[in-house]
Structure 1
């Protein structure tokens, strides 16, 4: 039997108010999401500009799911065992952020760096492409380590009654990061910075992204103090090798507690639905515009690819605004999962407090709202093949903002609650019985952000990282499935050149725009997966009672 883990110190967050503490705890997600957004928006045209073919570019983007599949569980396991005096998560966040920043700057200046060592034009072009690809892989692997540690830090720092609020704040920060990324990409940065931080938009964006992730992660690491793991309770040999790491991940994944397994399967089906949306919605919006709404001169425009990017980005800005609004408003109108701490619900502005007070009796549970969000997403995506206008396409993309807010919030709330219950040796029934002893006033609520030094933990106490890493496996594997589904759909429905972009790349060829849009069919298939996710969410509700 493994002994009980021992700890030193308390977990705490700087700040005089609950909102300040939550913002500081989750601020790093702004920088992470900003970096993801810049990479997904600009790296594809950058690689094409360097001379990489589109088929090879698609192989480059396997870096995302591969890095998530490998890095998050491994970093989670290693960090769980860490006895660093700086805490278990923050050292990985700092080191990973430094690597991300260096790789971003290398990515922006690949041609100049290669030019210092290589003069032959052909060799220089090949070396530049190779360095750019390696830099992208470096960014993906390092940022997954930072993201895994950031999510685990939220779970480690907050007790059960605060997990929903922490996840809601994390969702808000993700939305803000996306908005900032889209806004920065749409601006002409040369008018702001001149050539002081680069002579191109892409170089300037890499610098801004590097500064942003360093500033946000650095602020979170400064503001949060972690408990220090003195001993994990595993005896003399507390180190863990590569094989032992994989062994623990696999063993844990195959023997998940029922509720954690249910959460993981919801995430699995949910992300089969979200994959085509996140990767192809921009292109789909632009293709709808070129097919049905664009004037004749726009259809024949030399830069139709640029038009697709601009129109699609505008729709995603609307989507991000809806997501942000949902992540702010929904915590006020959705019941806290544990139903334990009514004094800890987020405080709305005084102007709408009476209205929300009236809604208190009608508050849905978070798990109910999560289930309905899958249905809303499915209903939106089912209509994708039948859309014939830019306005309709933008509307259904915007509608997905609410489901996305819950997708960024609900799974981490329930996972954090389950991990904390395992840590404290309590189950859901014991948690409900303690309702009366948990109520505190607003001054006492700050104490909930700290774990007592003598808090009793069982052998599951250091598994937050590995459980969240396994959750990420159930997020990553659907991306491979989604890639395969998309490849099949594209091969069957659009085996040749894209009808919307063919004229630009091949002016002498003619391709019909009749027939279904292949991306819309992928979105439709994603809707079916979302319905399965709704069923799986209802199953979680049943086994949690």
Structure 2
């Protein structure tokens, strides 16, 4: 008996038999205005991320956790990403809510972000209620860690369905997919700029004087006030995004068929874990290359994201947490540098789609990774210059050193824009033929991001201590990993047909 065409194709290509249930989609091409509105939630999410990246490593040290252990706190991000994002992606692929597949998870994630930032912002006050009075604030650290873990889980819960929703809307239009990811990257840049600008300003406690308490000094009150602003921002952008999507429920015929077969929620979750890890044996070579480049890329990025402002406070301003003003001033200057970084990120996002069409996504990604490596090497040179200076009691770093550091931070915004966009577009286009849901596809890519982050979180503190402390040893590893990822991207990622598509009329 002759097999139907779909079965013959599946047998020939050895694709997974489980395919994504398809919602009802409009035949017309999705307007760019709609993609812009849906992407806007990235601005609210990244506003909180910016505060987290710029202020929370210094803050956790002020609570009493040593620098060597501060990277362990960041372990929660990759661990939650390892489980939360693939699980939420899979569940959203099969969600039967009348509000759509992705939007219920986006709203739930946004609500979780609000709860978590309020816990983190009030961690000192919570610790005070539980008796914190010494230099090491055990209650505050406990509240902070719980809020921090919830925040990372909530961010992963929100970002995955957001990117999957954009992939749903663009469908097989790969140019629209790249545009949608560029929009997402652009709004991440806007959120970063606003978040880092908020983090670099030291007078929020004067605008919100009620944030200063017996347990919370002006530095703590600034963090708390910034998170209040984050709550307002995430509510606003979430509303804009979910009202623009107009998702349709899953096809009712699929739902009835599934109910007839008696598939339970427990069976669905078992299928999820089987699918997620079983998927790897079906991945073609180009997808494996993308995952390898992504992993090396994030070995480069994660030390910088953990220690950027701490590097400015320690290595450039030669300060220590809770000892004088140099460290706090350096942290705020680092936040200003990250704001410049986000400005370059936003500008790059605007031109990214044209660059990818002209040069190919792999080449653009590779060049950006080499630029990233050179920036990390420059940070090591700057660190060595400052270390050889004579340090006096009233030490202030030379203007040239500060300017050079800010320039490095700004230039790093270019490869960061590529990292936030190109890998997602490449995986979305290349994994589509396997018949996986976009949510599960993003989960597969996410594994290539979170596993390196786990390794860096566990190893960077002991690695830094092994070579005398500070942040320089981690940046050595970051520079080598980034350079390696750049070479592999340029030499091994083929320029696909979708990279060469012309602008549609």
Q: Is the structural similarity TM-score above 0.5?
A: yes
> Following the alignment from structure 1 to structure 2, what is the Cα–Cα distance between the partners of residues 224 and 485?
41
**Residues 1:5 and 1:251: Cα distance change in structure 2 (over 3 Å):** closer
Name 1:176's counterpart in structure 2. Answer: 190
> Following the alignment from structure 2 to structure 1, what is the Cα–Cα distance between the partners of residues 104 and 212?
29
> Following the alignment from structure 1 to structure 2, what is the Cα–Cα distance between the partners of residues 125 and 284?
24
Name 1:265's counterpart in structure 2. Answer: 292
Name 2:327's counterpart in structure 1. Answer: 305
Name 2:448's counterpart in structure 1. Answer: 474
Q: Does 1:523 align with 2:497?
A: no
**Residues 1:373 and 1:208: Cα distance change in structure 2 (over 3 Å):** same
Per-residue deviation, 1:53? 5.1
Contact 2:186 2:346 in 1 (8 A): yes
* Correspondence for 2:157 among 145, 152, 156: 145
The within-5 A match list for 1:188-199 is 188-195=203-210
- The runs of 5 or more residues in structure 1 that have no matched partner are 337-362, 423-459, 496-517
Q: Does 1:236 align with 2:188?
A: no
Per-residue deviation, 1:189? 2.3
Per-residue deviation, 1:301? 7.7
Q: Does 1:279 align with 2:306?
A: yes
* Correspondence for 1:133 among 142, 145, 157: 145
Q: Does 1:205 align with 2:226?
A: yes
Question: Structure 1 length as normaliser, TM-score?
Answer: 0.74
The within-5 A match list for 1:70-89 is 70-89=83-102
> Following the alignment from structure 1 to structure 2, what is the Cα–Cα distance between the partners of residues 211 and 13?
35
**Residues 1:469 and 1:11: Cα distance change in structure 2 (over 3 Å):** farther
The within-5 A match list for 1:448-467 is 460=435, 463-467=437-441
Contact 1:263 1:540 in 2 (8 A): no
Name 1:289's counterpart in structure 2. Answer: 316
Per-residue deviation, 1:40? 3.0
1:470-514 CA deviation, whole Å, 9 max, x = no partner? 11110111112223552353122215xxxxxxxxxxxxxxxxxxx
Name 2:278's counterpart in structure 1. Answer: 251
> Following the alignment from structure 1 to structure 2, what is the Cα–Cα distance between the partners of residues 58 and 279?
7
Contact 2:109 2:154 in 1 (8 A): yes
> Following the alignment from structure 1 to structure 2, what is the Cα–Cα distance between the partners of residues 380 and 103?
33
Per-residue deviation, 1:223? 0.8
The within-5 A match list for 1:468-507 is 468-495=442-469
Name 2:396's counterpart in structure 1. Answer: none
- The runs of 5 or more residues in structure 2 that have no matched partner are 1-6, 8-16, 386-400, 498-505
Per-residue deviation, 1:197? 11
> Following the alignment from structure 2 to structure 1, what is the Cα–Cα distance between the partners of residues 67 and 86?
30
Per-residue deviation, 1:167? 0.9
Match of 1:36, SS state, is helix
Per-residue deviation, 1:4? 6.8
Contact 2:74 2:306 in 1 (8 A): no
The within-5 A match list for 1:358-369 is 363-369=358-364
Question: Structure 2 length as normaliser, TM-score?
Answer: 0.79
Match of 2:359, SS state, is coil
My pick for the range that moved more, 526-535 or 149-158, is 526-535
Name 1:397's counterpart in structure 2. Answer: 409
Name 2:391's counterpart in structure 1. Answer: none
The within-5 A match list for 1:322-341 is 322-331=344-353, 333-336=354-357
Name 2:370's counterpart in structure 1. Answer: 375
> Following the alignment from structure 1 to structure 2, what is the Cα–Cα distance between the partners of residues 532 and 418?
22
**Residues 1:226 and 1:420: Cα distance change in structure 2 (over 3 Å):** farther
My pick for the range that moved more, 59-68 or 183-192, is 183-192
Contact 1:378 1:531 in 2 (8 A): yes
Coordinate RMSD, CA, aligned: 3.4
